[in-house]
């Protein structure tokens, strides 16, 4: 399990690195997606249990409720991750659309060239 | 976008009903198996996007225009909110499950859950399609 | 109280937002003019009524708890409304109502108004959700709804300014919300709950070294949204490039919601008044930097954006002091800031509407053309600088006194100097817009149209009323201050016997 947390935090660090140092809007957006995916992995790992079963209501569940509860994985992080993925899709789609417009207006994808407002 | 070669078109046309059906299956079984409105909606949208890529936007637009997708997206959202309000009117709280629960494991069971998934599925499919259209328009130069 | 008011306050704008494209299509088919505008105004006014109907209950000292789907906390999602939530909800719905009325004429020349009003109602739903929810993940989701709608509203006109500003805002803003999500994930891993009251009950049992990381993540994440100083880079661009109506909404309502989220998380959830002094110091830096940057601006909207940063600094200073007078002053300043900042952005919008630019080098001598607007701008400028007969004075005075009482006289002195600086740059702005030489092409500029003037005047009247009768304003914010200081009451009311 520690392995999962390490990878998750590595992904977050990788995303941050991309956001801080890359000079291309598309790469920035990829960095953002990687960063969020690291957080998703962390969340999923929080609820995971080795050899666990899916927490879906079924007939067997009611026959042995305590046993089911002892073996099932935590469904809450999965719901959270699904919600977060939806949000992330919106952000990435919107960012890419903006990138298209930015390329049309500025002719470049370099974010450091997008600074006409400051002048 | 003019569309692709005959091979791609034929395979896309053959695959389309199955992809669409699979998406619909995922949406309708959302309350029984893993999956649900969001993944199913994405699969449905992907099937349409596949057709658009194969045949070009002009032909696809005749079938599902921007306006249709926009209306469908609103309808999906409204289904969810109206179901929530049903809970308010017939029960005590918002989104309360006021419909008959049925038998566990059957397709028509679990009260308002399948209906909610249907709403989510419509909304997501239309929404993803709208995003795709919007990006295409952005590429082609701002015509609405 | 209207039955089910808490959930209706969130669902109504959401419902209206989903209905808006349909209304737009129908209006185009049938040729009904201005259907979208009237629909949006009706929705927002209904929202205001719903929020106001909760007022007597909450001011009676009760914490309204509403369980979604009948699941009791800490398992289900619940809405919890105490004095603080209600104060923010009042500001948000009031400002939104005025901005919609203002948009009626101001946005009338734009295309794609369906999208504008849909996004407007969505951002309202997001803000209401953040304000009223009692569940931290729910707060995150609504916060994201609010953020995504605000990126889209900034980019609404799709010219190069708005695209550039929106991209900057989006990348920095999504980084901030990712931090909030990471903070929530860490909290969930530690405690195994997402309910704010339940978390607040359990977190003090955890070791301090463990809760410091999520706290830092939350402060950074919400700090980006309220443009606290090392994290403010997106804000002047976004406010300058967005349509003025949108900038008015951001400065009045969205920033308020950001501060609410920060305060709720820092004070109720973590209950650590110890980092208050850090907030106060950050507020001080924010205040100083915002004021100095505002002094050098040539664009009126950019100047207002920096002054917005500076005012946020005052609020953080008051809230960070942690004494009851400081928190009261901070919340009162939050209330006042929403009033005059919205009003000033609306006036800039009126100038842009009539003249077409907000660059102060190209303006001048407009006093003769727009005497009423000029007077109102003067009222706003004096209020924001804290000159006595206006509302800014009352709240700033409370923050000064609180600073001295808390033994931080240095903070008070710096805040006083910054107040004088505020007056200086607003006088400069007033001078270069309304006085001086009038360029020839501006000689036939007309006065602001009446539907735009109405919300501005209403806000100006509020400025004067709360300046002359500060006790009235203090009475409005006192329930919020008491609620914020009494997190035990909040926890007890939400969890009940559970």
Residue A88: cis peptide before it, omega within 30 degrees of 0 = no
Provide Rg for chain C, Cα atoms.
Answer: 22
Q: Is A105 on the interface with C (CB under 8 A)?
A: yes
Q: Is C68 on the interface with B (CB under 8 A)?
A: yes
Q: Which residue among A12, A36, A114 sits closest to C167, beta carbon to beta carbon? A: A114
Of the candidates C314, C293, C222, the residue with the CA atom closest to the CA atom of residue C260? C222
Confidence of residue C274 (pLDDT cuts 50, 70, 90): low
Spatial distance between the Cα atoms of A8 and C147, rounded to a whole number of angstroms: 25
Question: Do the chains contact at C165 and A32, CB–CB below 8 Å?
Answer: no
Confidence of residue A4 (pLDDT cuts 50, 70, 90): confident
CA C264 to chain centroid, in Å, comes to 15
Contacts of B among chains (3+ CB pairs under 8 A): A, C
**pLDDT per residue as tens digits for the range C190-230:** 888 888 888 888 888 888 888 888 888 999 999 998 888 88
**Numbers of helices and strands, H then E, in chain A:** 5, 0
Instruction: Express the helix, strand and coil content of chain B in percent, nearest 5 each.
Output: 70, 0, 30
Residue C183 within any structural domain of the chain: no
Give the pTM. 0.92
Residue C489 within any structural domain of the chain: no
Question: Do the chains contact at A105 and C160, CB–CB below 8 Å?
Answer: yes
Question: What angle do the packed helices B113-140 and B37-55 form, to 10 degrees?
Answer: 30
Q: Which residue among B81, B88, B142 sits closest to C14, beta carbon to beta carbon? A: B81
Question: Do the chains contact at B38 and A86, CB–CB below 8 Å?
Answer: yes
Residue B38: cis peptide before it, omega within 30 degrees of 0 = no
Residue C404 within any structural domain of the chain: yes
Cβ count within 10 A of residue A61: 16
Q: Which residue among A77, A94, A106 sits closest to C152, beta carbon to beta carbon? A: A94
Q: Which helix (H) or strand (E) holds C447?
A: none
Residue C286 within any structural domain of the chain: yes
Q: Is C15 on the interface with B (CB under 8 A)?
A: yes
ipTM of the complex, rounded to two decimals: 0.93
SS3 of residue B100 by DSSP = coil
Question: Do the chains contact at B135 and A59, CB–CB below 8 Å?
Answer: no
Question: What angle do the packed helices C83-106 and C255-263 form, to 10 degrees?
Answer: 170
- Closest approach of A32 to chain B, Cα-based (Å): 19
Domain that holds residue C392: 273-482
Q: Is A23 on the interface with C (CB under 8 A)?
A: no
CA angle C53, C84, C144 (to 5 degrees): 95
Q: Is A83 on the interface with B (CB under 8 A)?
A: no
Residue C363 within any structural domain of the chain: yes
Comparing C66 with C308, which gets the higher pLDDT? Answer: C308
* Chain A contact probe: residue of C149, C180, C185 with most A CBs at under 10 A: C185
Residue C312 within any structural domain of the chain: yes
Q: Is C413 on the interface with A (CB under 8 A)?
A: no
**pLDDT per residue as tens digits for the range C105-137:** 888 888 888 889 999 999 999 999 999 998 899
Q: Which residue among B105, B128, B135 sits closest to A96, beta carbon to beta carbon? A: B135
Evaluate if residue C273 carries a pLDDT over 70: no
Question: Do the chains contact at C237 and A25, CB–CB below 8 Å?
Answer: no
Confidence of residue C247 (pLDDT cuts 50, 70, 90): very high
Question: Do the chains contact at B67 and C25, CB–CB below 8 Å?
Answer: yes
Domain that holds residue A24: 2-118
- B33 vs A contacts (CB less than 8 Å): 56
Spatial distance between the Cα atoms of B102 and B107, rounded to a whole number of angstroms: 9
In a 13 Å sphere around the CA of C127, the CA atoms on its Cβ side amount to 34
SS3 of residue C492 by DSSP = helix
Q: Which residue among B78, B95, B144 sits closest to C69, beta carbon to beta carbon? A: B95
Of the candidates A76, A104, A55, the residue with the CA atom closest to the CA atom of residue C191? A76
Q: Which residues pair with C66 in a beta bridge?
A: C79
pLDDT tens sequence for chain B (144 residues): 566 788 888 888 899 899 999 998 888 887 777 777 888 889 988 988 888 888 877 776 676 677 777 778 778 778 887 877 777 777 676 766 767 676 766 666 777 778 888 888 888 888 888 888 878 777 765 443
Of the candidates C256, C193, C185, C255, the residue with the CA atom closest to the CA atom of residue C218? C185
Question: Do the chains contact at C151 and A101, CB–CB below 8 Å?
Answer: no
Task: Please give the C-alpha separations between residue B135 and each of B90, B129, C92, in angstroms, as whole numbers.
Answer: 42, 10, 33
Q: Which residue among A25, A39, A102 sits closest to C182, beta carbon to beta carbon? A: A39
Domain count, chain A: 1
Task: Please give the C-alpha separations between residue C227 and each of C234, C239, C279, in angstroms, as whole numbers.
Answer: 8, 11, 13
Contacts of A among chains (3+ CB pairs under 8 A): B, C
Q: Is A96 on the interface with B (CB under 8 A)?
A: yes
Q: Is C62 on the interface with A (CB under 8 A)?
A: no
Question: Do the chains contact at A36 and C175, CB–CB below 8 Å?
Answer: no
Domain count, chain C: 1
Spatial distance between the Cα atoms of C425 and C385, rounded to a whole number of angstroms: 10
**pLDDT per residue as tens digits for the range C313-365:** 999 998 888 888 888 999 999 999 999 999 999 999 998 888 888 888 888 88
* Chain C contact probe: residue of B38, B81, B94 with most C CBs at under 10 A: B94
Q: Is C76 on the interface with B (CB under 8 A)?
A: no
Contact C102, C455 (CB under 8 A): yes
- Which residue of chain B comes nearest to A83, CA vs CA? B38
């Amino acid at each position: 399990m520690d392995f999962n947390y390490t990878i998750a935090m590595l992904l977050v660090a990788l995303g941050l690195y991309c956001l801080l140092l890359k000079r291309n809007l598309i790469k920035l957006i990829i960095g953002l997606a990687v960063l969020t995916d690291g957080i998703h992995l962390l969340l999923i790992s929080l609820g995971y249990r080795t050899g666990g079963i899916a927490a879906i209501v079924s007939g067997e569940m009611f026959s042995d409720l305590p046993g089911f509860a002892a073996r099932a994985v935590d469904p809450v992080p999965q719901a959270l991750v699904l919600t977060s993925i939806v949000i992330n899709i919106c952000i990435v789609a919107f960012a890419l659309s903006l990138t298209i417009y930015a390329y049309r207006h500025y002719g470049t994808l370099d974010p450091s060239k997008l600074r006409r407002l400051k002048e | 976008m003019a569309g692709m070669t005959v091979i791609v078109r034929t395979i896309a046309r053959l695959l389309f009903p199955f992809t669409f059906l699979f998406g619909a299956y995922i949406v309708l079984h959302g309350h029984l198996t893993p999956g649900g409105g969001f993944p199913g909606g994405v699969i449905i949208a992907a099937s349409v996007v596949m057709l658009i890529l194969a045949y070009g936007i002009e032909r696809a637009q005749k079938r599902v225009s921007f306006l249709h997708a926009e209306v469908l997206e609103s309808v999906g959202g409204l289904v969810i909110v109206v179901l929530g309000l049903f809970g308010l009117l017939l029960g005590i709280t918002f989104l309360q499950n006021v419909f008959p629960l049925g038998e566990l494991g059957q397709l028509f069971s679990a009260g308002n859950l399948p209906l909610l998934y249907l709403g989510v599925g419509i909304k997501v499919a239309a929404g993803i399609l709208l995003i795709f259209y919007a990006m295409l328009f952005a590429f082609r130069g701002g015509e609405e | 109280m209207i039955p089910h008011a808490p959930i209706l306050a969130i669902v109504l704008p959401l419902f209206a937002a989903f209905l808006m494209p349909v209304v737009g299509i129908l209006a185009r088919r049938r040729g009904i003019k201005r259907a979208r505008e009237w629909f949006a105004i009706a929705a927002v006014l209904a929202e205001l009524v719903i929020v106001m109907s909760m007022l007597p209950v909450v001011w009676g000292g009760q914490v309204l708890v509403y369980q979604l789907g009948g699941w009791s906390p800490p398992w289900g999602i619940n809405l919890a409304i105490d004095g603080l939530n209600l104060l923010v909800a009042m500001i948000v719905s009031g400002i939104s109502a005025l901005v919609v009325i203002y948009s009626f004429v101001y946005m009338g020349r734009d295309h794609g108004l369906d999208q504008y009003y849909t996004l407007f109602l969505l951002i309202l739903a997001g803000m209401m959700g953040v304000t009223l929810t009692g569940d931290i993940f729910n707060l995150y989701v609504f916060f994201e709804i609010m953020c995504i709608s605000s990126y889209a509203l900034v980019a609404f006109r799709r010219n190069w300014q708005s695209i550039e500003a929106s991209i900057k805002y989006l990348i920095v803003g999504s980084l901030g919300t990712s931090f909030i999500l990471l903070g929530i994930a860490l909290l969930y891993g530690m405690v195994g709950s997402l309910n704010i009251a339940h978390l607040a009950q359990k977190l003090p049992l955890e070791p301090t070294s463990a809760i410091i990381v999520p706290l830092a993540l939350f402060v950074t994440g919400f700090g980006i949204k309220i443009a606290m100083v090392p994290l403010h880079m997106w804000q002047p661009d976004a406010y300058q490039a967005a349509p003025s109506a949108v900038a008015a909404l951001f400065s009045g309502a969205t920033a308020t919601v950001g501060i609410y989220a920060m305060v709720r998380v820092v004070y109720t959830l973590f209950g650590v008044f110890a980092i208050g002094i850090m907030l106060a110091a950050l507020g001080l830096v924010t205040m100083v930097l915002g004021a100095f940057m505002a002094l050098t601006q040539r664009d009126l909207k950019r100047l207002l954006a920096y002054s917005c940063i500076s005012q946020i600094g005052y609020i953080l200073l008051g809230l960070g002091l942690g004494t009851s007078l400081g928190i009261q002053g901070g919340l009162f300043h939050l209330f006042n800031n929403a009033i005059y900042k919205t009003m000033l952005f609306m006036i800039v919008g009126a100038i842009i509407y009539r003249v077409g630019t907000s660059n102060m080098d190209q303006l001048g001598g407009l006093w003769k053309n727009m005497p009423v607007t000029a007077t109102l701008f003067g009222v706003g400028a004096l209020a924001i600088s804290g000159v006595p007969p206006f509302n800014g004075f009352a709240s700033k005075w409370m923050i000064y006194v609180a600073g001295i009482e808390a033994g931080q006289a240095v903070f008070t002195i710096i805040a006083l100097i910054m107040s004088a600086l505020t007056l200086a740059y607003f006088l400069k702005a007033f001078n270069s817009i309304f006085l001086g030489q009038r360029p020839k092409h501006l000689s036939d500029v007309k006065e602001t149209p009446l539907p735009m003037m109405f919300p501005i005047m209403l806000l100006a009247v509020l400025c004067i009323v709360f300046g002359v009768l500060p006790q009235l304003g203090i009475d409005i914010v006192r329930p919020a201050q008491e609620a914020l200081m009494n997190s035990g009451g909040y926890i007890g009311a939400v969890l009940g016997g559970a």
